[in-house]
Structure 1
Amino acid sequence: MTNAMAHSRGRRNPADGRAPVRRAAATVGVLFLIIGVLGFVPGITSNFGDLAWAGHNSDAKLLGLFQVSVLHNVVHLAFGVAGLLLARTISGARAYLIAGGAIYLVLWLYGVVIDHESGANFIPLNGADDWLHFFLGVGMIALGLLTTRGPNRR
């Protein structure tokens, strides 16, 4: 009924013909692109004048909470582009979500074990970033697994 209603109003249903895993990967990709761009917007990123290329000395914070740098923002943009490109196929979308989620879990673990005030914190990361990375990792892996089903995954 929903498809008929969407078509009866003259609008195409955006979910037509697209596997759930492809929609999920594209959505995650768009979110990463938005976050990457917002990291370069003064006001949305507090202490914008302190935005450094990389390193723990970058005092810029996205939404006043998540420590960012130019490198950090570029990584978000790259993840976004990768998500959109890999969302073109079911296998690419699934790989993006699961492998990307695994990368974010490794990044979470890295953030938890390093000293945030040391040179090892080159991205940079703070406690809010660490836990966001954890939830992103778990969420992306869950999306990759739950939006594909059965042994005949394409």
Structure 2
Amino acid sequence: MKAAQKFALVIGIVYVVIGALGFVPALVGHPGTDAAIKQYGIAAEYGYLLGLLPVNAPINIIHITTGLVGIAAAISLDSARFFSGQLGIYYAALGLLGVIPFTKTFFGLFPLFGFDVLLHGVTGLLGIYFGFFATPSLLALFKRELKEDATAAEIL
């Protein structure tokens, strides 16, 4: 398993866990609906996961979907690299949107502030790294495959 595949698998598992925990009422602290609507414009099941990550139902679904796609993408190197690159671009953009005051709730749909900025920003940067920079040399992989095929042909 190559580095991009391990990254896709680990990120997939982490995001499925974060998304699933966001639906457990005992783990999500609710700051008060009126205050959340006034301050952030978010009303749909808004709260703080473990007191740190601001979450609501739509962002939990996005996290679970991201995780499931990451787990599925870990099957092959090509799909893991594609997933990592796309994840990097999108999540880095979400991290940047969380810093801008009028987009920190993604226009009232889900929270992108607090530790979410850190979570999405780090995920985005790691995704860009594993998707575009930490790729094995395709020439080296091709030569190794040719060598393995030649060895198998000699045995037969």
Same fold (TM over 0.5): yes
Q: 1:99 to 1:116 in 2, by over 3 A?
A: closer
- 1:141 maps onto 2:124 in alignment: no
Tell me which of 39, 47, 58 is aligned to 1:60. Answer: 47
TM-fit CA distance, 1:115: 2.4
- Letter of the aligned partner of 2:29 in structure 1? S
Percent identical across equivalent pairs? 30
Q: Where does residue 7 of structure 1 map in the other structure? A: none
Does the CA-based 8 Å contact 1:72-1:123 persist in structure 2? yes
TM-fit CA distance, 1:59: 3.7
- 1:92 maps onto 2:75 in alignment: no
Q: Show structure 1 runs of 5+ residues with no match.
A: 1-17
Q: What TM-score, normalized to structure 1? A: 0.74
CA RMSD of aligned residues (A): 2.7
Q: 1:146 to 1:123 in 2, by over 3 A?
A: same
Partners of 1:119 and 1:132 in 2: how far apart? 16
TM-fit CA distance, 1:39: 0.5
Q: What TM-score, normalized to structure 2? A: 0.73
Q: 1:140 to 1:60 in 2, by over 3 A?
A: same
Secondary structure of the equivalent of 1:126? coil
TM-fit CA distance, 1:147: 4.4
Count of residue pairs the alignment pairs up: 134
Trace 1:15-30 onto structure 2 (pairs within 5 A).
18-30=1-13
Tell me which of 104, 107, 115 is aligned to 2:102. Answer: 115
More helix by share: 2
Secondary structure of the equivalent of 1:115? helix
